[in-house]
Amino acid sequence: MPTRPRLIRSIPFWGLVVVSVATIAGGWYITTDKLGSMTTTLTDGSATGVDVYVGQSIAQLGSILIGAGVIGVLLALGVAAVSTLRPHAPVEVVEPIDWNSEAETAAEEPQAAEAKTDAAPAEAAEPVDAEAEASVAAR
């Protein structure tokens, strides 16, 4: 089964979103800047032919950039919607949980700990081999 990263980790998806938003912001800046300068020059009477005619073209470019950015954001939303339709691998349950056995095990653990502390430490210890201990010390 081929594994594809989730959409949240997809670099091309986030690249599309970032570039689209940046395009919208750039187009908005160009449009508002040029329309603002055209408005001030036209109202105070100092507008030249370059300000008026070139300003309109640059404002048109800004609106085209805004439109391209909106299309990019809509494409990103479409990709996100389509990615939810992709089938996911089913989750396998290894074994069902038996809640009763855990309660019994938790109740038995303190009794087992008490039984271990009652035993004499000398009886539980294994005899130490002198040769094995000497070889460990030599290392």
Q: Which of 11-20, 63-72, 125-134 has the lowest mean pLDDT?
A: 125-134
Alpha-carbon span 35 to 16, nearest angstrom: 28
Task: Using CA atoms of 82, 83, 84, 90 in order, give the dihedral in degrees to the nearest 10.
Answer: 140
The model's confidence at residue 103, banded by pLDDT at 50, 70 and 90, is low
pLDDT per residue as tens digits for the range 56-94: 999 999 999 999 999 999 999 999 999 888 877 777 777
Alpha-carbon span 56 to 62, nearest angstrom: 10
pLDDT (0 to 100) of residue 1: 47
Place of tokens 């040769």: 131
Task: Specify whether the CB–CB gap between 59 and 31 falls below 8 A.
Answer: yes
Average pLDDT value for the chain: 80
pLDDT (0 to 100) of residue 86: 80
* 22 pLDDT more than 70: yes
Alpha-carbon span 75 to 81, nearest angstrom: 10
Closest to 72 measured CA to CA, from 7, 27, 18:
18
- Mean pLDDT of all residues in 41-53: 89
pLDDT per residue as tens digits for the range 108-119: 566 655 555 555
pTM listed for this prediction: 0.60
